[in-house]
Amino acid sequence: MKTLADLEEIRKRTLDNLNTRKDEHATRVVVGMATCGIAAGARKVMAAFIDEVAKRNLHHVTIAQTGCIGLCRLEPIVEVTKAGEEKVTYCKVTPEIAREIVASHLVNGVVPRQYTIGHYENG
Amino acid sequence: MKFYRSHVLICGGTGCTSSGSARLIKKFEEELARVGLSDEVQVVRTGCFGLCELGPVCIVYPEGSFYARLTEDHIPEIVEEHLLKGRICTKYLYSKSVTEDKAIKPLMEIDFYKKQRRIALHNCGVIDPENIDEYIAFDGYRALAKCLTELTPEQVVEIVTASGLRGRGGAGFPTGRKWFFAQQAKGERKFVACNADEGDPGAFMDRSILEGDPHSVLEAMTIAGYAIGAHQGYIYIRAEYPIAVKRLDIAIKQARAYGLLGDDILGTGFSFDIELRLGAGAFVCGEETALIASIEGNRGEPRPRPPFPANKGIFGMPTLLNNVETYANIPQIILNGPQWYSSIGTETSKGTKVFALGGKINNTGLVEVPMGTTLREIIYDIGGGCPNGKKFKAAQTGGPSGGCIPASLIDTPIDYESLSAIGSMMGSGGMIVMDETTCMVDIAKFYLEFTVDESCGKCPPCRIGTRRMLEMLTDITEGRGKPGDIEKLETLGKNIKATSLCALGQTAPNPVLSTIRYFRDEYEAHINEKRCPAGVCRKLLVYYIDPEKCRGCSLCARNCPVSAISGEIKKPYRIDTSKCIKCGACMDTCRFGAVAKR
């Protein structure tokens, strides 16, 4: 028999997964998955994002794919847009960097600048 | 917690299921397994999205791509291109769901959905109705928790009353007042009942709610039980809805397993349980007293009121009986507050209404609009107008109990009072659209055939009166109408309305009276000229040969079963209309398109 607390627990737990169907205020994580992306290993990067989000029970996160944005030599490219904030583009992302991005940017709200395109281009 | 980065929602309502959506779900699962995406992409069977015309419907999130008229051979491509590579298959999308530069429009910006406000339907097409966790995720059972732990039964009734909710089964009785009567009534035990016998031809609002969001009804009935002091609920559902019955059954079992139905709900000491009762195919059992008789195990026959069910219902005990859609609104009214609900709609008709759009309309399906939306908006903005460029003629609301709204009144706002003022009624929500190719006399006959068939036979006005009306209508459509028939139909109709025992008889004459009121000229053409202006009534059709096109080949004459065609070779032939039995054989055999009918 469930108590009110149990109900709340089920609600939170299931909502995280379901937000993909409804949420306009989610943090969007977009992984480049064109041929260049896939060739550079973007599949593993996406899998790392999914795994990390699931492990940490993060609320309001959607993970989507996109096509080629042109900077093929810098793939795998990941764009993270938090609601109300500017888009941050990361380049040459690896599964390890992906997990760092989740921890630093998504959870703590601190952008790990060393992995962004801006830093790569400008040193 | 399992996180899927993409959700594929496929409609599992009766409409899409009959178009094969169950196979599509299996195919998706097979294809996803083949490319190794089973752990990343979740396939979910949901309730009705509303755009039934384009079924089977499939929406893929997070992009929100709206795939329409999905077939099995689209699926491998969608899995490879869209789900694996992230390239949406725009050629399979609903054309109106993308902008000019191929961007995906958010669902609520598609024309079909723009003017809608999905409240009763808010979970349909979003959650898996067979998964109670998904219902809970979107605030399910929080309203019940609030009532049991924070509100008194009196407060619950006040909230429902303040919201202005009126019964959605058709009569529009103020729901809060009914709950108040049931609460005040005295009896050894009380019952809560749900009328899920949706019998109007063409109506499927309740069916979609039960198939797509069954827990909303269970939660609302439990709240009602708390409000009036009842511990047992019955859902009377027609057996012709097997998918809905199955989903309700699953939902009840899941709710019981979670302790949300049964003894000591949420540890508050309140007990309430729900059972299903299946109808056996009688339209009259949608009438409240007949429904109660049927639950008691008797033949579904109405009885005079008072006493009303709120005081003496099932087994003579106080019973609260409400329609499915009425219940579906309750949890949100409790959670969002009555002011939220009463801010939508018109002065006297609050909230939204679900309509099942059918007939000669482009976007057949299920829509939910705020009260006060005009018929024009529903037919053109949401419904997409009549197909093939035909002219809109009339819309029938209220099924066999309702009346037609002619094109001249298309700007009528949809609410209880406005509709009854023009001779129609809101009804349960079935809306059949008719165009210039529909014969209004034939429509009246169609509805009357239905009610004559479904009459329980208890009272003479309905048993005998409707049958006499049908006989007159049949004569009229077959060319045996006599002057004075229209007046006879009007008088008989008014008498039947005034003297029948229940609403079936009281409203059966409505389609006839309302078509006479607005389309008297069609009746007169049938009676005086023996002509059907819309070209529908078979016995009144005249087949003729166009002398300009006829080559005199005699093929039609040789094929006529009653030798009604005569002529000389190479000269135009003629049909003797007095012998013609209107079988159409001549029209079928003519190779020159010279035979036509009017």
Taking CB atoms and an 8 Å cut-off, how many pairs form between chains A and B? Answer: 95
**Is domain B440-528 in CATH 1.20.1440.230, yes or no?**
yes
| From A10, A62, A67, residue closest to B86, measured CB to CB | A67
| From A4, A53, A65, residue closest to B145, measured CB to CB | A4
pLDDT (0 to 100) of residue A66:
82
Backbone Cα Rg of chain B? 27
CATH for the stretch B352-435: 3.10.20.600
Strand partners, B10: B45, B58
What pLDDT digit, counting tens, does each position of A70-122 carry? 888 888 999 999 888 888 999 999 999 999 999 999 999 999 999 998 888 77
Average pLDDT over residues B383-394: 93
Distance (Å) from the alpha carbon of A34 to chain B's nearest alpha carbon: 6
pLDDT band at A4 (very low <50, low <70, confident <90, very high): confident
Number of domains in chain A: 1
Each domain of chain B, given as residue ranges in start order, spans 6-114, 137-341, 352-435, 440-528, 542-597
**Which two tokens mark B572?**
């135009």
Distance (Å) from the alpha carbon of B142 to chain A's nearest alpha carbon: 8
What pLDDT digit, counting tens, does each position of B26-52 carry? 999 999 999 999 989 999 999 998 999
The reply to whether residue A22 touches residue B149, judged by beta carbons under 8 angstroms, is no
Q: In this complex, is the C-beta atom of A47 within 8 Å of any C-beta atom belonging to chain B?
A: yes
Average pLDDT over residues B582-593: 87
Asked if B221 and B327 count as a contact pair (C-beta separation under 8 A), the reply is yes
Q: In this complex, is the C-beta atom of A5 within 8 Å of any C-beta atom belonging to chain B?
A: no
pLDDT band at B325 (very low <50, low <70, confident <90, very high): very high
- Give the three-state DSSP class for B172: coil
Phi, psi of A93 (to 5 degrees): -80, 140
The reply to whether residue A7 touches residue B6, judged by beta carbons under 8 angstroms, is no
Residue B77 in this model has a pLDDT that exceeds 70? yes
A30 to each of A47, A54, A56, A108, B63, how far by Cα in Å?
12, 16, 19, 19, 11
Q: B458 or B583: whose pLDDT is higher? A: B458
pTM score of the predicted model:
0.86
Alpha-carbon torsion angle B588, B590, B593, B596, nearest 10: -60
Average pLDDT over residues B336-344: 97
Q: Which chain A residue lies closest to B148 (C-alpha atoms)?
A: A4
Distance (Å) from the alpha carbon of A110 to chain B's nearest alpha carbon: 23
What one-character DSSP code corresponds to residue B594? -
pLDDT band at B1 (very low <50, low <70, confident <90, very high): low
Residue B513 in this model has a pLDDT that exceeds 80? yes
B462 to each of B37, B499, B504, how far by Cα in Å?
61, 9, 8
| From A7, A14, A57, residue closest to B145, measured CB to CB | A7
The reply to whether residue B4 touches residue A20, judged by beta carbons under 8 angstroms, is yes
**Which two tokens mark A3?**
């108590």
- A64 lies in which domain range? 4-122
The reply to whether residue A17 touches residue B42, judged by beta carbons under 8 angstroms, is yes
With CA atoms as reference, report the closest residue to B65 among B80, B78, B52, B47: B78
**For chain B, what is the mean pLDDT?**
93
pLDDT (0 to 100) of residue A12:
85
Residues in A touching B256 (Cβ below 8 Å) = none
The reply to whether residue B62 touches residue A46, judged by beta carbons under 8 angstroms, is no
What is the rounded CA–CA span in Å between residue B222 and residue B241?
23
The amino acid occupying position B97 is S
The reply to whether residue B62 touches residue A64, judged by beta carbons under 8 angstroms, is yes
pLDDT (0 to 100) of residue B489:
97
Phi, psi of B64 (to 5 degrees): 85, 25
Distance (Å) from the alpha carbon of A26 to chain B's nearest alpha carbon: 10
A113 to each of A9, A116, A123, how far by Cα in Å?
36, 5, 11
CATH number of the domain within which A76 lies: 3.40.30.10
pLDDT (0 to 100) of residue B348:
94
Residue A21 in this model has a pLDDT that exceeds 90? no
Asked if A110 and A81 count as a contact pair (C-beta separation under 8 A), the reply is no
**Which two tokens mark B579?**
């012998």
What is the rounded CA–CA span in Å between residue A63 and residue A79?
10
Residue A1 in this model has a pLDDT that exceeds 70? no
Q: A15 or B177: whose pLDDT is higher? A: B177
Q: Which chain B residue lies closest to A23 (C-alpha atoms)?
A: B62
B356 to each of A19, B234, B427, B431, how far by Cα in Å?
29, 25, 11, 6
**Is domain B137-341 in CATH 3.40.50.11540, yes or no?**
yes
Residue B171 in this model has a pLDDT that exceeds 70? yes
Average pLDDT over residues B231-246: 96
The CA-CA-CA angle for residues B127, B128, B129, to 5°, reads 100
| From A1, A7, A65, residue closest to B86, measured CB to CB | A65
Backbone Cα Rg of chain A? 16
List CB contacts of B69: < 8 A, sequence separation 6 or more: B54, B55, B56
The count of other CB atoms within 10 Å of the CB of residue B152 is 11
What pLDDT digit, counting tens, does each position of B426-461 carry? 999 999 999 999 999 999 999 999 999 999 999 999
Residue B493 in this model has a pLDDT that exceeds 80? yes
CATH for the stretch B542-597: 3.30.70.20
pLDDT (0 to 100) of residue A14:
85
pLDDT (0 to 100) of residue B454:
94
Average pLDDT over residues B195-202: 93
User: Over B346-405, what HEC string results?
Assistant: CCCCECEEEEEEEECCCCCEEEEEECCCEHHHHHHHHCCCCHHHCCEEEEEECHHHCCEE
pLDDT (0 to 100) of residue A38:
85
**Is domain B6-114 in CATH 3.40.30.10, yes or no?**
yes
Q: In this complex, is the C-beta atom of B139 within 8 Å of any C-beta atom belonging to chain A?
A: yes
What pLDDT digit, counting tens, does each position of B460-484 carry? 999 999 999 999 999 999 999 999 9
What pLDDT digit, counting tens, does each position of B101-156 carry? 778 888 888 889 989 999 999 999 889 999 999 999 999 999 999 999 999 999 99
Q: Which chain B residue lies closest to A61 (C-alpha atoms)?
A: B5
Chain B interface disruption, residue of A11, A35, A56, most B CBs within 10 A: A11
Helix (H) / strand (E) containing B223? helix B214-228
pLDDT (0 to 100) of residue A36:
84
ipTM over 0.90: no
Q: Is residue B524 classed exposed, middle or buried when 0-12, 13-18 and 19+ CB atoms within 10 A define those classes?
A: middle
The amino acid occupying position B182 is A
Residue B257 in this model has a pLDDT that exceeds 70? yes
**Which two tokens mark B422?**
């023009």
Q: In this complex, is the C-beta atom of A22 within 8 Å of any C-beta atom belonging to chain B?
A: yes
What pLDDT digit, counting tens, does each position of A23-46 carry? 667 788 999 888 888 889 999 999
